[in-house]
Amino acid sequence: MTGRLALRVLTPSALALALPVGACLTPRAPATSTTPSATSASPEPVSARALEPPKELPRGGRTIFPEHRLVGYCGTPGAPALGELQGNLPAKAKALEARATLYAGGRKTLPVFELIAVVVQSSPGPDGKYRHRVDNSVVDDYLRAARQANALLLLNVQPGRSDFLTEVKSFEAYLREPDVGVALDPEWAMSGKGRPGAAWGQTTGTVINDVGAFLSSLVEAGNLPEKVLVFHEVVKAVVKDEASVKPFPGVVVIKSVDGLGPVSAKVATYANLMANTAAGVHPGLKLFFDEDTRNGGRLMTPRQVLGLSPQPEYVMHE
């Protein structure tokens, strides 16, 4: 356990070197309405919202499931150990597109860029929170690349000693966009004097629901398509009272199982953790290009992944 934990914690100096510098791309503003003419037959004013075309997902439509299967890469700039999604983003998008087609299984595939936007740290930092938020310029770069690939962008949060809702709300301007969602990493949510890398972190079903309710309010206010909320789970202990997790209007909740190791171990972990899934929560699976293939191991094939029960609706690659 500690080996994997230590591998994924970046030092502040390493992260600072990795982060690009650039101007912030302001998320696009809502469409401007046209003003009704004085000769309009309607005596009632027409709201701007009523005149806007409904916002859709990157590849059309407003609902995630059961039409789509999500297939994604995760990562953050300058940190290969944290996933494929860093470096040449257009090239990574092309590789992801090719991989996603292998998981269609009768559904439309929708690629996902899961940017680790709040990165857990090995030292407390100025505010003692053991986490670093990437600059808006980084989110801008990833959102631009995701849009060029007609993909969703998920902002992954590793909160350290901060809390999930605070970190999620710090990206509210982006979350008001129709193609941006959230992924939570409870194993990095430390309470009290907990230090990342020393033990598993933990969150609760109530906290996940608080994030879901917040996202739902944004969906309603902006007339947005369904928004994705993922929580990653490596062991049962990282989510307390998981049975209380529930979807909210306009929010699709996904549990992504993060078990490591050979295929037999991953299948067993998936079955174990999925047995504890609350009603209305969709299944997901994370594959690890590095950890899963150590000591002669191999990555699960798409056929093996789609043969799992329940069948994963989100397949993430790190």
Assign 194 a pLDDT band (cuts: 50, 70, 90): confident
Q: What pairs with residue 300 in β-bridges?
A: none
Q: Which of 107-111, 122-126, 165-169 has the lowest mean pLDDT?
A: 122-126
The token pair that represents 288 in the structure block: 């690890």
Contact between residue 112 and residue 69 where contact means Cβ atoms under 8 Å apart: no
255 vs 194, which has greater pLDDT? 255
Q: What pLDDT score was predicted for residue 140? A: 98
Residue (of 141, 173, 156) closest to 232 by Cα position: 156
Q: What pLDDT score was predicted for residue 154? A: 98
102 vs 81, which has greater pLDDT? 102
In the predicted model, what is the mean pLDDT of the chain?
Answer: 87
Q: Which run of H or E residues covers position 142?
A: helix 136-148
Q: Which run of H or E residues covers position 145?
A: helix 136-148
38 vs 49, which has greater pLDDT? 49
Residue (of 123, 109, 227, 101) closest to 168 by Cα position: 227
Kindly report the pTM of this predicted structure: 0.85
Q: Is the pLDDT of residue 3 over 60?
A: no
75 vs 198, which has greater pLDDT? 75
Assign 52 a pLDDT band (cuts: 50, 70, 90): confident
All structural domains of the chain? 2-13+61-317 (3.20.20)
Note the pLDDT tens digit of each residue in 17-40.
333 333 333 343 333 333 334 334
